[in-house]
């Protein structure tokens, strides 16, 4: 009776949403597919069903979501076109598809990428990011075609020379980007979409949402750095240099207001170059301000990127993962014990009884510990998933789940295969014990002689 009560209590933890969420996160760390940002864990038929329903109901949001998570680029483009035709506010989805269309250096690009870039510029003409995308895409297409056309020797090392500044279309697009009045890489739009659809589908797998957000593309920071250094070093006279430094500073300040810490870091770097170049030429009245601003930005640059919460909760993540494995082992042990009792029709077995009691106790203890250890994460995830939480706050909160994948990030295959091998060995050990129990000959009843 005690064992049954303990088992019911352990199973009762699965009624708690935070506990189920913790178990799903722990399970995702063992699943290689979970670390693919386009994995939706719905199988092959589910996306198709969602697509049919979205087209029938003219659900532009769901079509945009499917476009982002679709592996086949042609089908993703079709979903994006349908979403934009229904509601133009989803045009930013082309921003994601552009980078997916040009990241594979083994395939020849087509005019579709240029068409997407054109649609982005026309839809959001004041956004510097769209010009950065166009500049980077055109340059990468040129470079890719050079490789495909055999203009480089094959089979031997070729020193790479960055020729962006000699590419006139690239320079023109970069100039428009630096002069554009705003900078938006659509992280907030992507975060709102991922969060809304997760709630709509009833998904409670925050780690997968986090991985999806981490996959969101960023403009070429190398291009930004190359361009600002080129225009600062090629100014023809002091008035021209002052004008160029002000352009660089303005762009850097706009980039510093971006949604991610990495973009803010690059923005500060660009702005610092401009401020340092401007300071010797500035009026005496402006020297104090420029000096203070330079010191402030340098201090911010040396601050550590990321949240210390991730490291602080790393032990909690290890505990939850360990408890998850223990719960799996306990469940397999109880299933094996039940199989022995059912198929062997054994009335009493002290060894099997002890093993069953131990498995129930381990499951209960592991459930309690996992529930307590995951509580800080559940609170952070709940805050991040609140629709009022901006991406600047929500993404770092979800980023704390990275402590579950620290080992994974250092060695992808070793982490996943290591857990898989461990579980396989333990499962085989349990199976061996069951088979061994089956092979024991049943006890013969004692023969009582008459007389």
Give the pLDDT confidence of 60-110 residue by residue, as tens digits.
999 999 999 988 888 999 999 999 999 999 999 999 998 887 665 444 446
Looking at residue 338, its pLDDT comes to 76
Tokens of 378: 């559940």
* Separation between Cα atoms, residue 379 and residue 21, nearest integer Å: 11
Q: Give me the chain's average pLDDT, please.
A: 80
* Separation between Cα atoms, residue 199 and residue 203, nearest integer Å: 6
Please, which pLDDT band fits residue 55 given cuts at 50, 70 and 90? very high
Looking at residue 450, its pLDDT comes to 54
pLDDT in tens, 120-156: 999 999 999 999 988 887 776 665 545 444 454 444 4
Rounded to an integer, the average pLDDT of 332-339 is 79
pLDDT beyond 60 at 426: yes
Q: With the CA atoms of 148, 149, 153 and 157 taken in that order, what torsion angle do they form, in degrees rounded to the nearest 10? A: -30
Rounded to an integer, the average pLDDT of 270-276 is 94
pLDDT beyond 90 at 275: yes
Tokens of 273: 């170059």
pLDDT beyond 60 at 44: no
In the block, tokens 């959001």 appear at: 124
pLDDT in tens, 292-329: 999 999 998 887 655 567 667 788 888 898 899 889 88
Looking at residue 163, its pLDDT comes to 63
pLDDT beyond 80 at 222: yes
Please, which pLDDT band fits residue 45 given cuts at 50, 70 and 90? low
Please, which pLDDT band fits residue 334 given cuts at 50, 70 and 90? confident
Please, which pLDDT band fits residue 422 given cuts at 50, 70 and 90? low
Looking at residue 254, its pLDDT comes to 96
Looking at residue 413, its pLDDT comes to 43
Rounded to an integer, the average pLDDT of 281-292 is 88
SS3 443: coil
Rounded to an integer, the average pLDDT of 351-358 is 75
7 in Cβ contact with 363 (< 8 Å) = yes
* Separation between Cα atoms, residue 449 and residue 451, nearest integer Å: 6
Q: Within its chain, how far is the Cα of 355 from the centroid?
A: 41
Rounded to an integer, the average pLDDT of 54-59 is 94
In the block, tokens 């021209």 appear at: 240
190 in Cβ contact with 161 (< 8 Å) = no
Q: Is pLDDT larger for residue 362 or for residue 106? A: 362
Residues 6+ apart with CB under 8 A from 363: 6, 7, 10, 326, 327, 330, 331, 334
Closest CA to 327 of 290, 296, 370: 370
* Separation between Cα atoms, residue 370 and residue 368, nearest integer Å: 6
* Separation between Cα atoms, residue 131 and residue 227, nearest integer Å: 13
Tokens of 65: 């979501």
39 in Cβ contact with 208 (< 8 Å) = yes
Tokens of 5: 């009560």
427 in Cβ contact with 435 (< 8 Å) = no
Q: Is pLDDT larger for residue 78 or for residue 414? A: 78
Please, which pLDDT band fits residue 52 given cuts at 50, 70 and 90? very high
Closest CA to 385 of 213, 218, 259: 213
Sign of CA dihedral 125, 127, 128, 129: negative
In the block, tokens 């002000």 appear at: 246
In the block, tokens 């719905």 appear at: 42
Distances (CA, A) of 289 to 146, 241, 246, 279: 48, 19, 15, 9
| CB-side neighbour CA atoms (13 Å) of 91 | 15
Looking at residue 103, its pLDDT comes to 63
* Separation between Cα atoms, residue 117 and residue 44, nearest integer Å: 30
Tokens of 298: 């340098």
Distances (CA, A) of 352 to 19, 22, 428: 29, 31, 17
Question: Can you give the pTM of this predicted structure?
Answer: 0.78
Looking at residue 149, its pLDDT comes to 45
Looking at residue 358, its pLDDT comes to 84
Looking at residue 71, its pLDDT comes to 85
Using alpha carbons only, give the angle 422, 424, 425 rounded to the nearest 5 degrees: 65
* Separation between Cα atoms, residue 175 and residue 135, nearest integer Å: 10
Residues above pLDDT 70, as percent of the chain = 73
Sign of CA dihedral 414, 417, 422, 428: negative
């Amino acid at each position: 009776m005690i064992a049954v009560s303990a088992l019911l209590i352990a199973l009762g933890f699965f009624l708690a949403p935070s506990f189920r969420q913790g178990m799903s996160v722990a399970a995702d760390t063992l699943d290689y597919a979970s670390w693919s940002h386009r994995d939706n864990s719905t199988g092959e038929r589910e996306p198709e069903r969602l697509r049919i329903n979205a087209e029938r109901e003219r659900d532009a949001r769901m079509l945009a979501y499917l476009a982002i998570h679709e592996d086949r680029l042609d089908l993703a483009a079709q979903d994006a076109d349908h979403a934009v035709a229904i509601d133009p506010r989803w045009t930013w989805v082309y921003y994601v598809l552009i980078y997916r269309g040009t990241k594979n250096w083994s395939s020849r690009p087509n005019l579709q990428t240029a068409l997407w870039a054109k649609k982005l510029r026309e839809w959001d003409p004041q956004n510097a990011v769209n010009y950065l995308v166009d500049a980077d895409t055109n340059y990468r297409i040129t470079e890719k075609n050079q490789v495909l056309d055999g203009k480089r020797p094959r089979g031997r090392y070729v020193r790479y020379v960055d020729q962006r500044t000699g590419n006139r279309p690239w320079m023109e697009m970069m100039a428009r980007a630096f002069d554009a009045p705003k900078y938006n890489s659509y992280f907030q739009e992507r975060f709102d979409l991922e969060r809304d659809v997760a709630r709509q589908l009833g998904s409670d797998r925050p780690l997968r949402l986090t991985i999806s957000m981490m996959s969101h593309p960023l403009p070429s920071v190398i291009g930004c750095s190359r361009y600002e250094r080129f225009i600062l070093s090629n100014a023809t006279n002091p008035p021209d240099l002052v004008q160029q430094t002000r352009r660089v500073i303005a762009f850097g300040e706009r980039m510093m207001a971006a949604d991610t810490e990495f973009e803010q870091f690059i923005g500060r770097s660009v702005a610092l170059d401009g401020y340092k170049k401007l300071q010797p030429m500035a009026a005496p009245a402006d020297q104090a301000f420029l000096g203070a601003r330079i010191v402030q930005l340098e201090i911010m640059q040396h601050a550590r990127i990321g949240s210390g919460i991730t490291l602080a909760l790393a032990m909690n993540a290890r505990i939850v993962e360990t408890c998850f494995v223990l719960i799996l082992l306990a469940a397999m042990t109880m299933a094996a014990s039940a199989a022995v009792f059912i198929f062997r029709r054994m009335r009493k077995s002290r060894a099997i009884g002890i093993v069953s009691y131990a498995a129930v106790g381990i499951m209960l203890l592991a459930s309690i510990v996992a529930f307590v250890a995951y509580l800080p994460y559940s609170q952070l995830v709940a805050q991040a998933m609140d629709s009022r939480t901006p991406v600047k706050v929500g993404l770092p909160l979800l980023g704390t789940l990275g402590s579950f994948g620290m080992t994974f990030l250092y060695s992808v295959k070793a982490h996943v295969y290591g857990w898989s091998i461990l579980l396989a060995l333990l499962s085989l050990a349990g199976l061996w014990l069951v088979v061994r129990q089956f092979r024991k000959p049943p006890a013969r009843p004692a023969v009582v002689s008459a007389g």
